[in-house]
Chains A and B, each alone.
Chain A
């Protein structure tokens, strides 16, 4: 599905890296023809994915995140794709159960909601353990109808 050259950014797994990653993704997305209307959704998906890595991938606090941005194709739809890679212990975020979004306030727990947003706001999302790396790849339709 992915095609073409990928742009890449590597930054420390720290909350200070969140905004630069989002800015990089917006810039690359624009170069690939992403609709500006997708901006807030892309920011959301990136935040949810990156904050998970920042909080859990490196218990000693030291490590990097690699983001790659590339174009893709799903049948006749052009996609903008991002992969987020860390070298933490194997963790498949897609293995979590979806939260109960109908539960009353008293029973609501926010755990799992970020991953649920990633699934809801993207066209495709895949997790892969590649050697010592976790790689989460997601794609969004460049110009949704």
Chain B
């Protein structure tokens, strides 16, 4: 898994590449925690290059979302595709979080 983050306006865009599984998901949580500690609490997560996510990945996503909410922040997602989209849909995460087709759409919502 690769994790890149970039500030765009008031939002932090996080691009995750590769696989979010039981082995790599804790890294997502850890790196997201560092961004929050730096005072950024408006997250846009771009999953366009994410090939795979499991329940362990969703657990990390939910944990980060709950922490952001406690800080009056938020999280939204864009570019969901393939099995990642299916996992979000089957788990109900698609109706729990704002999901956008493109990064531009997600940024426009900020």
Contacts and interface: CB of A to CB of B under 8 A. Distances in A.
A44 B65 CA distance: 22
A1 interface: no
A101 B69 CA distance: 19
A105 interface: yes
Given A40-B52, A41-B83, A117-B90, A105 B22 contact: no
B90 A105 contact: no
B82 A40 contact: yes
Contacts of A102: 92, 95
The dominant DSSP class at the A interface is: helix
Interface size range on A against B: 20 to 34
Contacts of B83: 40-41, 44
B54 A44 contact: yes
A114 interface: yes
A105 B52 contact: no
